[in-house]
Amino acid sequence: MAKPGKSGLKRIIDAAYYSKKGLQAGLKHEAALRQELCLALPLTIIAFFVGNSAVQVLLLILLPWLTFTAEILNSAIEAVVDRIGDEYHELSGRAKDLGSACVFIMLMLTVFVWTVIIGENAGWWSFGS
């Protein structure tokens, strides 16, 4: 059963406000989120100079921002686990480790995609035509 609440434009406006609050809180309290943002912003600009096609530029931009998104989710998991308590619990540790693993995988995918695209464009190797 759906919970009652606002609908239409008011719901969208409220959702945007909560998203803004979440970004502000994350950037204020999470160093890793600030670091991911400091990675995503310049890579977004550099992508236009590195990519040789729309697909390459899109991939070069998407990966750092997906990593930033994974870091937001990881920070949310950590906040919920920390709110529950600071005593050790196997499931709490597992939840935090899984969130961290998600960010790590996204970072490695970002490095991989950037390396492959730069390498192909520099003529180090060729995939396809």
Point out the residues that are catalytic.
Answer: 71
| CA separation for the pair 36, 39 (Å, rounded) | 5
Q: How many C-beta neighbours within 10 Å does residue 64 have?
A: 24
| CA separation for the pair 111, 54 (Å, rounded) | 19
Residues with Cβ within 8 Å of residue 24, at least 6 apart in sequence? none
89-105 per-residue burial string, b: 16 or more CB within 10 A, e: under 16: eeebeebbeebbebbee
Distance from the Cα of residue 29 to its chain's centroid: 16
